Amino acid sequence: MSEPTHDESLSLLRWLIEAGADEAIAEQPINRFARNIPHPVGENLLAEARKPASTLPQGKSGISTNARNAEAVSLSTAPGAARALASSCTTLAELKAALGNFEGCELKRYAKNTVFADGTPQGGIMLIGEAPGRDEDEQGLPFVGRAGQLLDRMLASIGLDRSKVYITNVLNWRPPQNRDPSPEEAAACLPFLHRHIELADPSLLILLGAVSVRHVLGFTDGILRLRGSWQFYQNGQMGRAIPTMPTLHPAYLLRQTAAKRLAWRDFLTISERISALGLA
């Protein structure tokens, strides 16, 4: 069979786009009509990404072969790859392993550790912050610096600690110099965040700061306007609405100490809902 002409190739490309195939996920085109041609990234990458990092083959640079293949996925298609990978995970352990091997977010290149979560999902209370800082990047756990110490005291004020709550962030990698993430970087992380909520399946959500509120609920209003009022997050997997409280981030409270009284009011409201739900 002769090679298609330039016009024929363009016509085929238009047909594919109209059919909904609008993302190229490999550097080389694939003949979909040929038999038994394996996908160069696809299934192997998804399978390897779900394995614990210690089981992956390592090269001299310490980066797995499939991780290098993942780098061939352009940033423009990373959110699509992230959605496919996140949705394929059926447990929190699988999601953690997938994040540890996902190479579609630029933030990971500069971070020391992937920061997944801390605490226990069995308590039914999930807190979501913004992004890891220096201390979190060093230790691989969320909220372990000064802001984390304040959060621990805030939780203790209503009878909670990390053995009774589950803590994570919107971003799993520290942005360099704690800068704001780019839209592309955030978009690559969000499928994992939403899948994280689905798999943890909390009975109550606490959103710490404006970034968390924006990416979880989609609200762009200021946190001072939104805090203290119950919202609801729709858990796609379970098909139910989760009571959600936006409140101030502990790092903000360290800078604006007068605002602690507002956070105290929020936590009293949270405590009442926890009692009503019989959680702690």
Q: How far is CA 59 from the centre of its chain?
A: 27
Q: What is the distance between the alpha carbons of residues 159 and 135, in angstroms, rounded to a whole number?
A: 25
Nearby residues of 151 by Cβ (< 8 Å), 6 or more positions away: 127, 143, 167, 208, 250
Question: CB of 191 within 8 A of CB of 81?
Answer: no
In what helix (H) or strand (E) does residue 9 lie, and over which residues does it extend? helix 6-18
Question: CB of 40 within 8 A of CB of 66?
Answer: no
Q: Is 141 helix (H, G, I), strand (E, B) or coil?
A: coil
Q: Show the beta-strand stretches assigned E in 29-158.
A: 118-119, 125-129
In what helix (H) or strand (E) does residue 92 lie, and over which residues does it extend? helix 92-101
* Local confidence pLDDT in tens for the 280 residues of the chain: 566 666 666 666 666 555 555 555 555 555 544 444 444 444 444 554 455 544 444 443 344 444 444 444 444 456 788 999 999 999 999 999 999 999 999 999 999 999 999 999 999 999 999 999 999 999 999 999 999 999 999 999 999 999 999 999 999 999 999 888 888 889 999 999 999 999 999 999 999 999 999 999 999 999 999 999 999 999 876 678 999 999 999 999 999 999 999 999 999 999 999 999 999 7
Burial of 38 (0-12, 13-18, 19+ CB in 10 A): exposed
Predicted TM-score (pTM) of this structure? 0.74
Q: What is the distance between the alpha carbons of residues 82 and 1, in angstroms, rounded to a whole number?
A: 37
Nearby residues of 258 by Cβ (< 8 Å), 6 or more positions away: none
